[in-house]
Chains A and B, each alone.
Chain A
Amino acid sequence: QSALTQPRSVSGSPGQSVSISCTGTSSDVGGYNYVSWYQQHTGKAPKLMIYDVSERPSGVPDRFSGSKSGNTASLTISGLQAEDEADYYCCSYAGSHMVFGEGTKLTVL
């Protein structure tokens, strides 16, 4: 049950686009279309941003999008805004358990 691999940090200027990768194995990310992404601001509970690889819950801006290729999933945030600065975690179903990524800190410059 190893954590999925994410970059420790990414950054971008307002209006730019950034992508966060999430690499697992054929037993988790690559084996199921059940990858989700969570945004967490400091001291707050996580918030679901993407589920089932690329679906957005109601209320999440369409600036947030998800995709997957093989064992790697990605979250792309376009038109960066200051309020997007937060920690982001991917998560995958893995048959008998769930596994989260290590987390990525997004800094809006």
Chain B
Amino acid sequence: EVQLVESGGGLVQPGGSLRLSCATSGLTFSNYRMHWVRQAPGKGLVWVSWINGDGTNINYADSVKGRFTISRDNAKNTLYLQMNSLRAEDTAMYYCARDTAGLHYWGQGTLVTVSS
């Protein structure tokens, strides 16, 4: 059974940093492109970033470019999102998802709240 479990969310002040993790099991992690998707409270889904299987192809949404860094550790089957210079508008549930012609598997999300 494929499982994705996000962690690392919490309350952080504007300008602060957080590192999200997405631990996976039940899949050959290194074979898949992985994504982060976020959802502000009461709002829609927004794509944040992707990273391909070996980490050589990475892309970001314009809204997070230069502030967020996606990475992966294939030996640990884990995806990461380093978030710096956080703003109030980054407040959201952050989901990781596995890409196989569509985002077939999603975690349950981890909540990030940016507030003073």
Contacts and interface: CB of A to CB of B under 8 A. Distances in A.
Interface residues of A, number: 26
A47 B37 CA distance: 13
Interface string B24-37: 00000000000101
A46 B47 contact: no
A43 B45 CA distance: 13
A36 B102 contact: yes
Given A97-B47, A97-B59, A98-B35, A45 B103 contact: no
Sorting the interface of chain B by its residue count into under 10, 10 to 19, 20 to 34 or 35 or more gives 20 to 34
Interface in B87-103: 95, 101-103
Contacts of A3: 44, 46
Interface in B37-71: 37, 44-47, 50, 59-63
A58 to B, nearest CB: 10
